[in-house]
Structures are given as C-alpha cells and as structure tokens.
Structure 1
Amino acid sequence: MDVGKIILQSVIANRLYTISEEMGAALEKSSRSPIFAEACDFACGVTNNRGELISQLNGIPILAAAGSFSVQAVLEKYKEGIEEGDVFIINDPYMGGNHLPDIGIVTPVFYEKELIFFTVSRAHHGDIGGAVAGSYNTGATEIFQEGIRIPPTRLVKENNLCDDVLELITYNTRNSKMMKSDLFAQAGANKIGSERLIDMLNKYGLKEVREAAEELLLKAEELTIKGISKFPEGTYEGEEYLDDDGFSDKPVKIKASVTFKKQEVTIDFSESDKQVTGFINSGLVTTKSAAYIALLWALSPDIPRNSGAFKPIKIIAPKGSVVNPNSTAPVTLSTLHCASEIISAILKACALAVPQKIPAGFGRYCGPSFYGIDPRNNNFFVGFGFCCLGSGGGKEGQDGFPYMAPISNYGGVRAPNNEANEVQYPILTLNHHLVMDTAGAGKYRGAPGVKYEIQFYGHDTNIVMFGDGMKIPPYGLKGGKEGSLNSNKLCTQEEVLHLKSKTSPLPLKCGDTLTLISSGGGGFGNPLKRDINLVYEDYINGYISLDSALKDYGVAITPQGIDIEETLKLRKMEEKS
C-alpha cells in the first residue's frame, strides 16, 4: 500500500472517531435529564451496514460495546425493509439491549440510495416504567416487572415521526415529557453523525471510505491477535462473587476460564451459577460486552474498541446461567452487577499470567434512587445517587483513582456537582468527602472511599437502594490488601436503619437523612514495599491514620515526621514474620 493511501485511511479513521465524539457532545448539550446532561450515562457510535461497530465514543463502556448488538437486532428484524429516513428504537435485553432503562436509537445512513452505515446512540433514561420509579425494582422476579420492553421498532418512517409509537412508549413512563425530549436528543445526535458521514463520503468517495472502515476492523483484529500471542498459552481461571441477589443471602458466583491460544482466546463461563431470582442476571449482550471490556483491557489500551477487536474473542455462556438467563429473568442491575463481577473474574484470571497489567479490585456501586414530589414546583422527580461512587484499585506503578464509576462504567459516569443536585432535587448535601482508612493497602494502594450524606425535604419521597459490595470487598493483588465495604445509615425521625444493598422502596419524611460510605479500591503489592515518603504523604492528606501507617505499612510517624530508625526496624520484623 502506498504512503498516500495509508495517510488517507488514517485521516478517514480519525474522522470516524471524531464523528462519534461530536455525537456525544451534541447529546450531552441537547438533553434535559440530569442522567444525560450531567452524568453522561450514554454512548454513541458508528457501525457499517452489517452492524459491526467501527467507531465509538466510549462514554459508558458497557453501553458502547453493545451498540453493534442493537443494530444487528434491527437488521435481523427488518432485513431489506430498512429505508432512507427511518429511525429505530430498541431496549429489550434479550434482543440487542443491555437492560430496559438503556434505550438505543438506531439511524441508517444511505448514500446514493445504498445503505452504508448506521449511527447509534444508547442512553440510560431516568424511568422506563415498571413497578418502581427509576426502574431499579429490587423485588422484580421477571422482566415484565422492570418496565416496558421495546423490541426493534421503527420510530421514524421516511422522516415522519410515528407519533403513536412514541406515545405508547412514553405513556408507560413516569416522566413522559423528559423522556420524549431525551429521545429527540438521541435522534438529533444520530442525525448529526449521519450528516457528518455524508459529508465525509462526499469528500473522499464511497470506495475510499468503505476501504478505510474495513481496514479499521482488520487492524483492530490484527492488534488483538498480536496481544493474545504475547500471553503464555494455557487456561487461567478467575472467580468473583456478588453479595446476593436480593432474595437469598447466598453469594452468587461468576467463574471465568480464559484460554489463550496463538490467535484467539476463549472465555468460558460454564462454571458460573445458574440464573437467580433477582435482577442481577446478565443478558448475553451485557455479558459479551463486559467480557470484551475486560479482555481488551488486559491486552492493550492501543487496540481500537470495535467489532474487529471482538472477533478473536470467543465466549461460552450456557443458557439458563446467571450470565445468560432465560428471556423472562429480571436483569436491570446487571450493567453494574454482575457486569462488574464478570470483568473482575476475567481480570483475576489474566492476572495469573500478566499481573503487571491488571488492577486490583474496584469499589462496587451501592446507592439509592429516590423519587417523589418536589415541593418547590409540585413536579414528580426521580433522582440517583451518582455522588456516592466508590474508588479504583491500585496497579503496578500507580495508585488507584478516587471517586470512580464501577469498573463496568470505568471512567464513564460523571458525578454531578452537589449544587446542581440541590437545584434539581429536593435534597441538601450535608457531607461529601474522602474517608480515612478505606483504601486497600499496598505498594500501590487503592483509593479511599467517599462519605456522602444528604437530607430529604420533598413530599411523599421514597428511596430504593440498589447495588452490591456490602459483604464482599474489592480484591487485592500481589500481596495488596482488600478495599473496604460499602455501608449506609438512614436516620428517620423514628429510628436508625442500615439498609441492605438491595432494598425495596421505603417512604421518607421531610428531614430524614441518608449517609453512604462507598468502598475504597484494593491494593496492589506488598504494603511494606510502599515508599515511606508516600505513606507519610497519605497520612498528611488524611487518607490513612497513624494506626494504619504503623500496622499496614510498617511506618512510624511522630509529630516531627517519619521515625526512620523505628520504621526500618518494624519493616524488618514484619518481613521476617
């Protein structure tokens, strides 16, 4: 291939990525709901006419990787019936979706009357109906109790909105005006992406653009195979557990057997638990998306996250298991848990081969949704506890990052500022800060957890707790210690309650307060090997106490600073023991 061709393909590839980014910027700026506009709980992308993901705005990784499945579901249902000016909507977890709150908008892109691309946006809506506002129904035993299911459905035909379809969907939700507005924002983002693609086709020509898109997929596949070939051949096993499913106290096992061969890797979940009663089950789309996230993380950050990279990754997930349940099982929590545990199990397996590439455990999400009537305007509201995020685990050469989304949303969900939350919801923020002695100790420590305390003053407010990690902490690696557990305290006018990680709606009164302590990340490496100056810095910053510095790190700190002689003595004694 000549140099000019290589440069042109590079330019087109970069343009495809920036189109996805522009779609994301448009969606963020045009949406109304806080979960879109502030938390940015969405992802955007471009696929080819086969539904293969070419480029994506990572946004929420568990959503981004699923974009191709949504397009493929539309292709399977409508086949040759897709026409210019159509737009499709989908959310069914058993037909191309993740969980019901994540709605996909799919727009075909025609050029000279030929279907060339699809633009796709997938985003988490604040309410999708069902028995509980906010749609995290901890008591659900079947998907029908979680909200309205939308199979691949034509929403716009030949540029004309199907009003009856839109009304049917939004009529079954608690905030139909906001949902309509956000769906239009998604469709608008797709339209911008489509226009940019047409501009690119006009500028470079169909043949060149098509070749560049195919080259992107091929290059990603080659890089994935190259990464796989660097792993020692063999099978590595990793296990992770969820606390429970909300119905039984029994922990739920996710086991991944990861087999590396020269040009492919197989991830086998056959020894994972059977599907459970509660809403932690993971549909196959979510399971595959989580597996891709984990494996590509272990291989290289330089591999483009597109369908070419996914091809050498084979996944075995038996039907009827917690990672591939039968089609009526509830799944709403799955994009957090068990997606995070799927990722962790794979990373634990890979750590047996390449520990230097793998981080220790991340804090799991465990927070509230809350809903009721806002006394300032008498409008119904649904809010989420995005400000109680846990923290990341340490890895070789790097401490964990604080205040992160769960590992399935790694770096994606943004926590809104407290002032914005107080404008949008009838709550007051009483405390919001990192918590001492919650970070997993290690040569490279995890990051501390967060204390988040809010007071409610709305009318007829209810709270739902959903999440995990109140029994099973983030794991440590290579001698690093575990991170802390999630905890909470609800102070009502009558009593003090400690809520389970999966708690059905509870009514609140004006003045009730909720305190959340999120989990700190796990540590990586022997804590006694941590630089003593970094230990002292952690103490000064309030991350660890004097007691932790002494017991966990073998560092003696006095009012005058580090007692070097005592520290060396302590560390020598600890190493001998």
Structure 2
Amino acid sequence: MDIVTYEILRNGLYACAREMKIAMMRTAGSPIVHSGGDASAAVFDAEMQLVAQGNDIPTMLGSAVISTKASVEAIGRDRLRPGDVIVSNDAYLGGGNHQPDVQFTRPVFVDGQIIAFVMTRGHWTDIGGQAPGSYTAMTWDIFAEGVRIPPVLLYRDDKPVEDVMTLIVQNTRDPSVRLLDIQAQYAGCFVGDRRIAAMARKHGVDALRDAMARALDHSERLMREAIRQIPDGVYEAEDKVEPVAGPAGWPTAEIPIKVKITKSGDSIHFDYAGTGPQTRGGINCPFSVTCNSTWFTVKAITDVSIPINQGCYRPVSIDAPKGSLVNCSFPASVVAGNTETSPRLIDLLLRALAPAVPRRVVGQSNCGAFSGVFGGPDPDAERVRRTGRPFVGMIDPHAGGMGARPDKDGVNGIRVYVGNAGSTAVELIEQTSPLTVEEWSLVPDTGGAGEFRGGLTSRRVYRVEYDEATFTVCGERGIHPPLGQFGGEAGSTFRCEIRRADGSTVRVPAKSGHEIVHAGDQVLLQPAGSGGYGDPALRKRERILDDLRDGYVTVAGLGVPSAEAEALLREAGLG
C-alpha cells in the first residue's frame, strides 16, 4: 500500500471516532454527556484490537481494550448480524470500568463478513442503585451500585430489543433521559458503522485491514523506541489509599498500594504485588482499570505524539494480585476505583519513575472526579410540566489542581489523568435543576510551593432549592495531601461541607454515603490542590509577585516574616 492511501485510511479511522462522539453529544439526555463530554468512541479491527480513538476519556478507552473483546466473546461472534448492538456495563462479566459507564459495541459488516467493530461509551447520570446518581462509595457490594448489564443484544437488525431496553431504563430514576442516552449511543455506533463500511467499499476491505495492522505496528515501533530511552533498572514506590468512611464496623485501615517497575530494553513490566486486599466500599479497581492507569502513565512519560492505539500497549506487561485493591474479585464494589483510586495509581507510578525520567513527571495532583451528585423531586411545577421530568438528578465533576511541571507551574482548576470531562456549566445547572451556584472560584494557597507552583483547586458553592434531596460526593485526598516532586511542597486536601439553613455545619468526608439536604442549605465542594516541583527557594521573585497580583497566593500562605511580606506587597503594587 502506498503511503498516501495508508495515511488517508489511518486518519479516516481517527476522524470516524471523533464523529461518533459528536453524534452522541448532540443527542444525549445526560448533561454530563452532552455538556461535559463524559463519553468516548473508538474503532476496533476485526480481531477486536483498538486501532483508533477520539480525544476522549482515557479511563473509558483503555478499559475498552478488555471490555470490547469480552462483549463480543460473551455474545458469540458467529451470532452477530448487521445492525446488532451489544450493551454492557458489568465490571466482571463485561470487562467494564464501573457501572455508570455503559458501552455499546457494534460489528461492521461488508459483503457478509465482519471487518471491524465500533464502540461508544457514555456516563449515564443514573444507573439505579442505592442512591440517586449511582455514585456513592459506601456500598456493601456491586449490587448496590446500580443495574448490572452483562453483554446482551440491545439492538437486533437495527431494531431495539424492547424487553431488554425496558428492563434497563425502568431500573433507573429517570427512564425518559436514559432512553435518550441509549438512542445517542446507538446513533454514534450507527455513524461509525456507515463511515467504516464506506471506507472499505472505496479502498477495498483488504486495504482497510492492512492499514489497521500497519497502524498498530507503527505505534508499537514508536513506543518501543520511546521506552528504550528510559534508563534500564528497577523502580519502586508505595503509598496508601484512604478507606471509605462507613458505619461502625466498617473497615478503617488505609490500604497499601505498591508497584515494582522493571524496565529492560524496549519493554517495561509493572508488578503490583504487595498491594492490599480488596476492601468494603466502592474504591476497588477491576483489572481493566489498573491496566488503563498503567498504559496511560507509560504514554504520558514517553511521547504523547505517538498515534494512540493498542499497539502502544504491546511493550507493557502487568501483574496484579487477584483479589487485591487493583484486581478485585466479584462482588467487590468498584464505582470510585475508576475515578479516585485509578489516578492515585498514576501518582504512584510517577513517583516510582521520577528518578528515571525527572523531566517527564509532575507533582501529585487532585486525583479524583470529585463529583457532586444531587437527586430528588423537582419542586418547580412549571419545569416539570415543560420537561416531563418529576425527578431531577444532577452530577457535576469538579476541577482541582494539577501538579507542577519541571519547567512550568501546575494547571489551575482542571480534571487530570484519566478523567477528561468538563464541569457542568453554571447556566445549565440552574436551568435544569433546583440549584443555584453561588460561587465558583479558584482557591488561593492550595497549590504546593516550589520552584514551580502546583495548580490551584477550584471551589463551588451550591444553594439547594429542592424541598428534599440526596447529596453525594466521592473524592480523594481527604487525609493525605498531594505531594511535590524534588523538594516541592504539598498542596491542600479535599474539603466538603453542608451549611444548614439552621446555621449548623456538617463536614462531609471524601468517601462516604449520601447526606439529605433541604431548601436553603448550602453545599461547598472543594477538591484537593496539587504539589509543587523543585525547591521553593529557587522560585524567581517576579513569579512570586505575579502570584500575589493574580491572587493565587496570599502573604500568609507564603509564610515569610512580616517585614518581607510588606515588602513583597509593596513591590507587587498591593501595599
């Protein structure tokens, strides 16, 4: 195949994945999908290898390497027909990452043979379970996290399997919105099917197959060369994960996480032996999540320009003890393993690899989705009449600090690592739910000091207008702050509190169950900050003055003597 045809086909595959996600976002019902972009799409070859993906949610796409194969094998390749769509969210039977992320998988047929598979995955605002939003970590087992959907056919011959669809949507709190999400994901798969089939008919099935194989091999070669640049050796690190805050008798011990990384030539091996056993509460990682965190880290410390597909992962091998926090066994609950424990693993890997690639790591980051979740009956009768939704759920992923870099400050107010969704727009929250956002701001002094300062976290304060609703938050770093690298200082920890209308205040742990809120209550949600990079004494004075002018730090946060503080304020034009 000539290089021009190959590049047309390769780029066409990536363009197809991007178009699939756009089709989903334009028609989805969940605001976290159509506004926040918490959705992904990808293309797989006929052997179910990931060959192209959008610039979407890393935790969805890495785990799809496992879940797509599991979905097809569960149904049986020989049973599939044109127009079929498999649905699954199950972490154990379907290789999923957590149950709110629902995957659709569709075979692409040309002339009677499967030439590819396309996949869409979206985060549904509710999937059932013990609390609205399906996002509480205080669960006894996976059954409390929502409806488990093993791989089953949801569309047959491009027609919905009505009984299965009814069973799924009626086990959620807002079935009409779930139906829109289903149709959106189906539309994304339909678009992908048509685009891939058109490419095959134009250039030939054999050419498309060869282009897919060549793309995988090309990314593998580039990744092996990038890994070769890392010094050979053994690198280790350990940390502790905070447990879920539960009732009396609930586990209270922190769970150790450990890794031993062996780099040799053009391959790299990760061994998580020594990591603690799986625990009560939804902070356990399915193996697919641990694989994704590991693959993400390797990609981040090597060459981000390498076209991302499954070829990138071939030089990486992973061992994780069965029944551990990083390879849990049924029926352990997993909802926050995907969003909170997973980024903690990435911070662990970056700390282990820092001596090998000091210019490719960052200070520790906020490490979590920090999603604030509200759910309850809508007291606005006019809005209920207009929308037909008597129950309103709202899930809002939050933005914390990203760790400082070797030559730059960290990023303020951002999702990091495997999460790539945006916070919900204030206007959308206030238009569609009984909430008012009274504050959305960056919080000074929450980024760790260093030659380069850690990124600041953000704070949101909601005023509740529900008559009665549940509030759930699932966060990370409520006890242990994000540390710096090479002398950089730690950032701030997680903070959440409910200020009751009667004047009392309730502090909410980072990982717990749900709280009941009422009209007039205020909810403050503030993710963790991030760590600095390098010795703070090396920070240039002009940068410190800029921090003061921008309100990123305060003189109290600088911790300098009063005379020096006054001098800094005068020099910054603030005295």
Q: TM-score range by the shorter chain?
A: over 0.9
Is residue 396 of structure 1 aligned with residue 406 of structure 2?
Answer: yes
Q: How does 1:519-530 map to 2 (within 5 A)?
A: 519-530=528-539
The alpha carbon displacement at 1:464 in A equals 1.5
Per-residue deviation, 1:549: 3.9
Structure 2 letter corresponding to 1:141: W
Conserved 8 A contact 1:392-1:402: yes
Q: SS of 1:145's equivalent? A: helix
8 Å CA contact 1:245, 1:252 repeated in 2: no
Q: Where do residues 75-474 of structure 1 align in structure 2 (5 Å cutoff)?
A: 75-77=72-74, 78-94=76-92, 95-246=94-245, 247-365=250-368, 366-376=370-380, 377-378=383-384, 379-386=390-397, 388-409=398-419, 412-474=420-482
Q: Which residue identity is paired with 1:501?
A: A
Partner SS state of residue 460, structure 2: strand
Distance 1:562 1:131, change over 3 A: closer
Q: CA deviation at 1:485?
A: 0.6
Contact 1:58 1:64 in 2 (8 A): no
Q: Distance in 2 between matches of 1:295 and 1:126?
A: 31
Amino acid in the other structure paired with 2:463: Q
1:536 to 538, 545, 568: 545
1:343 is paired with a residue whose SS is: helix
How much does 1:461 deviate?
A: 1.0
Question: How far apart in 2 are the matches of 1:61 and 1:557?
Answer: 46
Cα displacement (A) at 1:241 = 2.5
| 1:84-125 Cα shifts (integer Å, max 9, x gaps) | 121110101112211111100001001111101111011111
SS of equivalent residue, structure 2 residue 321: coil
Rounded Cα–Cα distance in structure 2 between residues aligned with 1:131 and 1:488: 21
Distance in 2, matches of 1:118 and 1:162, equals: 20
Change (3 A) 1:142 1:12: same
Do the aligned residues in 1 keep the contact of 2:270 with 2:319 (CA within 8 Å)?
yes
Aligned to 1:48: 45
TM-score by length of 2: 0.94
Deviations 1:237-288 (A, max 9, x none): 1223222233433222221111111121111111111111111000111111
Aligned partner of residue 68 in structure 1, secondary structure: helix
Secondary structure at 2:421's aligned position in 1? coil
User: How many residue pairs align between the two structures?
Assistant: 556
Is 1:17 the counterpart of 2:19? The answer is no
Offset at 1:36? 0.7
Farther-moved stretch of structure 1 (443-452 vs 212-221)? 443-452
TM superposition shift of 1:550: 5.5
1:518 aligns with 2:527: yes
Deviations 1:483-523 (A, max 9, x none): 11111221113421111112322221110001122222211
Quote the Cα distance in structure 2 between the aligned partners of 1:240 and 1:60: 25
The answer on whether the counterparts of 1:532 and 1:555 sit within 8 Å (CA) in structure 2 is: no
Counterpart code for 1:31: A
Cα RMSD after superposing both structures: 1.7
Identity of aligned residues (%): 28
Contact 1:440 1:481 in 2 (8 A): yes
Runs (5+) with no aligned partner, structure 1: 564-577
Instruction: Supply the AA of the counterpart residue of 1:165.
Output: V
In structure 2, runs of 5+ residues without a counterpart are: 385-389
Equivalent of residue 547 in structure 1, options 548, 556, 559: 556
Q: Distance in 1 between matches of 2:16 and 2:409?
A: 34
Q: Which aligned segments of 4 or more residues in structure 1 are displaced greater than 4 angstroms?
A: none
Cα distance, 1:529 vs. partner?
1.2
CA drift of 1:546 comes to 1.9
Shift, 1:304, TM fit? 2.3
What is the identity, as a one-letter code, of the residue corresponding to 2:427? E
SS at match of 1:73: helix
Distance 1:203 1:274, change over 3 A: same
CA contact (8 A) 1:549 1:556 kept: no
Moved more, 112-121 or 254-263: 254-263
Tell me the distance in 2 between the aligned counterparts of 1:415 and 1:557.
Answer: 39
Equivalent residue for 2:571, pick from 526, 541, 561: 561
- Provide the C-alpha distance between the structure 2 equivalents of 1:551 and 1:303, rounded to a whole number of angstroms: 45
1:88 maps to amino acid: I
Look up the equivalent residue of 2:352 and give its one-letter code.
Answer: A
CA offsets, 1:1-40, max 9 Å, x none? xxx7122212211111111111111111111211111111
SS of alignment partner, residue 441 of structure 2: strand
The offset of 1:555, in angstroms, is 8.0
Tell me how far apart the structure 1 counterparts of residues 184 and 159 of structure 2 sit (CA, whole Å): 16
Secondary structure of the corresponding residue to residue 336 of structure 2: helix
> Matched residues in 2 for 1:463 and 1:201: separation?
49
Give, in whole Å, the separation in 2 of the partners of 1:536 and 1:215. Answer: 52
Question: Does 218-227 or 66-75 show the bigger shift?
Answer: 66-75
SS of 1:267's equivalent in the other structure is: strand
Per-residue CA shift, 1:394-442, capped at 9, x if unaligned?
A: 1111211111114321xx1111221111111111111111111111111
Q: How far off is 1:556 after superposition?
A: 7.1
The worse-fitting range, judged by mean Cα deviation, of 415-424 and 238-247 is 238-247
Could you report, residue by residue, the CA deviation over 1:184-236 in whole angstroms, capped at 9, with x for unpaired residues?
10010111111111121122211221111111100111111111111111110
Cα distance in 1, alignment partners of residues 565 and 207 from structure 2: 62
Amino acid corresponding to residue 34 of structure 2 in structure 1:
A
Inter-CA distance 127–356: structure 2 relative to 1 (3 Å threshold): same
Give yes or no for contact 1:483–1:523 (8 Å, CA) kept in 2: yes
Structure 1 residue 562: Cα displacement: 6.1
Q: Is the Cα–Cα contact under 8 Å of residues 546 and 557 in structure 1 kept in the other structure?
A: no
Provide the rounded CA distance (Å) in 1 between the counterparts of 2:41 and 2:235.
33
